[in-house]
Amino acid sequence: MNTHSLRIFHRRPTIVTKAKSNDKYERILEAAIKVFAEQGFHQATISQIAREAGVADGTIYLYFKNKDDIMVRFFDQRTKRAFSRFRVAVDRVGNARDKLTVLIRTHLEEFQLNRDMAVVYQAETHRNNRSCEQQIRDMSKMYLDIVSEIVEQGQQEGLMRKDLYLGLVKRFIIGAVDEVINTWLHSNTDYDLSSMAEPLVDLFLRGVGNPEEDEGDKDA
Comparing CA positions, the residue from 118, 167, 163, 164 lying closest to residue 147 is: 167
Q: What is the per-residue pLDDT for 152? A: 92
Comparing CA positions, the residue from 35, 49, 65 lying closest to residue 131 is: 65
List, in order, residues 6 or more apart from 69 with CB less than 8 Å away: 131
pLDDT in tens, 132-141: 788 888 888 8
In angstroms, the CA 54 to CA 77 distance is 22
Q: What is the per-residue pLDDT for 3? A: 43
Q: What is the per-residue pLDDT for 165? A: 87
Backbone region of residue 95 per phi and psi (left: phi > 0; alpha: psi in -120 to 50; beta: other values): beta
Q: What angle do CA 167, 144, 105 make, to 5 degrees?
A: 115
Q: What is the per-residue pLDDT for 9? A: 35
Q: With a cut of 90, say whether residue 28 has pLDDT above it.
A: yes
Cα distance from N-terminal residue to C-terminal residue, the chain? 99
Q: Tell me, which fold does domain 66-208 have in CATH? A: Tetracycline Repressor; domain 2 (1.10.357)
Q: With a cut of 80, say whether residue 211 has pLDDT above it.
A: no
CA distances from 30 to 21, 25, 187, 194 (A): 14, 9, 24, 23
How high is the mean pLDDT of the chain? 84
Q: What is the per-residue pLDDT for 192? A: 92
Q: With a cut of 70, say whether residue 220 has pLDDT above it.
A: no
Q: What is the mean pLDDT of residues 77-97?
A: 89
Residue with the larger pLDDT of the pair 183 and 7: 183
In angstroms, the CA 40 to CA 133 distance is 17
Domain ranges of the chain: 1-64, 66-208
Q: With a cut of 60, say whether residue 158 has pLDDT above it.
A: yes
CATH class given for the domain over 1-64: mainly alpha
Phi, psi for 184 (deg, rounded to 5): -65, -45
Q: What is the per-residue pLDDT for 218? A: 54
